[in-house]
Amino acid sequence: MEQQPQQQQPQQHRDQYIGGGWRPSLGSESIPVLNPATEEVIASVPAGTAADVDAAVAAARGAARAWGATPPAQRLEHLTRLRDGLAARQAEITGTVVAELGCPLSFATPVQAGLPLAVAHSYIEILSGFAFSEQIGNSTVHLEPAGVVAAITPWNYPLHQIVAKVVPALAAGCTVVLKPAEDTPLVARLFARIVDGAGFPAGVFNLVTGVGSVAGAALAGHPDVDLVSFTGSTAVGRQIAATAGAGIKRVALELGGKSANVVLPGADLARAVNVNVGNVMSNSGQTCSAWTRLLVHQDQYEEAVAIAAKAAAKYVPGDPASAETRLGPVVNARQRERVRGYIETAVREGARVAAGGAEAPEGLATGFYVRPTVLADVTADMTVAQEEIFGPVLSVIAYRDEEHALEIANGTAYGLAGGVWAADNDTAAAFARRMDTGQVDINGGRFNPLAPFGGFKGSGVGRELGRHGLEEFLQPKSLQF
């Protein structure tokens, strides 16, 4: 009889990275990590307790003064080794994110693995030329580290969000305790191993895995944490801000979005709509800055809906480990039901399904899959036009004139990102300047990791990336002579 290959047993991790080494977690509970495409448990990590957080913060506090006093050139050496470690393990990073997030290989390679490497490299260049002091009249103003940083990161871009917080914090001279999302902790553990290999002093970087309501809450409210940097939902962001505010801590919040992509008359409609569909379907729609609202003039509306439906049909859900797959599953069963629920709500409120729908994709009984969906006849007051869905769902909305388009674009609680398309860049830029949002792509402008990323209104406080991202972790001190 032919011997069947044995199924690989899930790896059970029982340790946290604290004080420069791996030590047993102080709690007995664990968190299973699922592959969203197969629904199989692929690993487990410790569900860290308040005691684990206490130990990590104590290690960070103990290392803070010495690390903050190191010359920038010395910090640069460690960060360069960290960058090189990220470069050397690109394939392992990609495979890890594909497995625990369900992100397609074709997207995970350049974005989930490649973008964090680019961001790390950008901070090496910024740090090498950054002035930590300046003369203003009879004052010398020094930019000093904010202290101990609590970095609480999401699952949708698990390594990018870690790098976007941890690397500039370390560059600024801060020490860090990282609490990654419970759905995607494996790439965070891989990052900790890379940090360990870069030779940072003990306590400069610490990792505690755990659930948000326990480890995250303990970290946000810890008296020895000076700054909380959080990326996630606006609802949780409010809780983080309230907890941190009670302790007079600084907060940096990168929260939700409901971004509008506005196509003005005279723009290349086909290109604008096709780019928009790709923007929403990337990462299965699990992007806070995704253009989930497509605004087109009423005279071009049906043409735009037809283009969008045709484009969405090219995103066939499938195995994320296959190089041909363009759309993978969402992260977990709860998220799948949430997204399908929004589609059903839209239909009840009068929207028309132009592509996709709430039904399970054909041939995919296993896995947390959602059909790539285009909703037509959406009005600005519908639930799907106001609330963040976080799935592969595009709402197409008609406007009467430019002022009506601006009213719709600005008519949500969010203000994170957006796009504007017009016959020329000046016309598009003039409209973009009136949008209440943190960043706007003009006629398909590319993402720039050196530009500040963050939002207005309910989309957050503070900025990540580039020089602005470094300055989030610095505080000025003035000496008068």
Dihedral, CA atoms, 242, 244, 250, 254, nearest 10 degrees? -60
Q: Which helix (H) or strand (E) holds 94?
A: helix 90-101
Q: How far is CA 65 from CA 200, 251, 368, in A?
A: 14, 21, 46
DSSP string, 421-444: E-SSHHHHHHHHTTS-SS--EESS
> Burial level of 134, CB count in 10 A (0-12/13-18/19+)?
exposed
Count the neighbouring beta carbons within 10 Å of the beta carbon of residue 101: 32
Length of the chain: 481
Q: Is 174 a catalytic residue?
A: no
Q: Is 288 a catalytic residue?
A: yes
Tokens of 15: 């340790």
Rounded CA separation 63/66 (Å): 6
Query: Which candidate in 103, 174, 182, 254 is catalytic?
Result: 254
Query: Which candidate in 174, 182, 288, 472 is catalytic?
Result: 288
Q: Helix H segments across 282-415?
A: 301-312, 333-348, 383-386, 402-409
Tokens 């909703």, residue located: 375
Rounded CA separation 190/11 (Å): 14
Rounded CA separation 194/411 (Å): 43
- Catalytic annotation, residues: 254, 288
